[in-house]
Amino acid sequence: MAGVFAESLWVGPVLWAGLYVSDYVLTIACARLYQAQNKIVFEGSYEITPMFQADVNALRRVSPRFLFFLVEATAVLDG
């Protein structure tokens, strides 16, 4: 398996992008479930990362800020 990463430079960034997107999608899904109930209450936002709190609170499926960081992080990994 380690040979795949050494031979193909695109595998790592693609896996990273997939994990990054899945984290955001699952966060939005869980925030939607959290907002639909009233038994468990958090102080502040459901999202702990300050730069994404407004997007998660608004349940934005596509966030320009998220897309910017996705492209930036993937480009750095592709380096």
Q: Which residue ranges make up each domain of the chain?
A: 23-78
**Residue 50, CB-side half-sphere exposure with 13 Å CA sphere:** 0
Torsion of CA 7, 8, 9, 15, to 10 degrees: -130
CA–CA distance, 25 with 5 (Å, rounded to integer)? 26
pTM: 0.83
What lies within 8 Å, CB to CB, of 33 at 6+ separation is none
Confidence of residue 72 (pLDDT cuts 50, 70, 90): very high
Is the predicted pLDDT of residue 70 greater than 90, yes or no?
yes
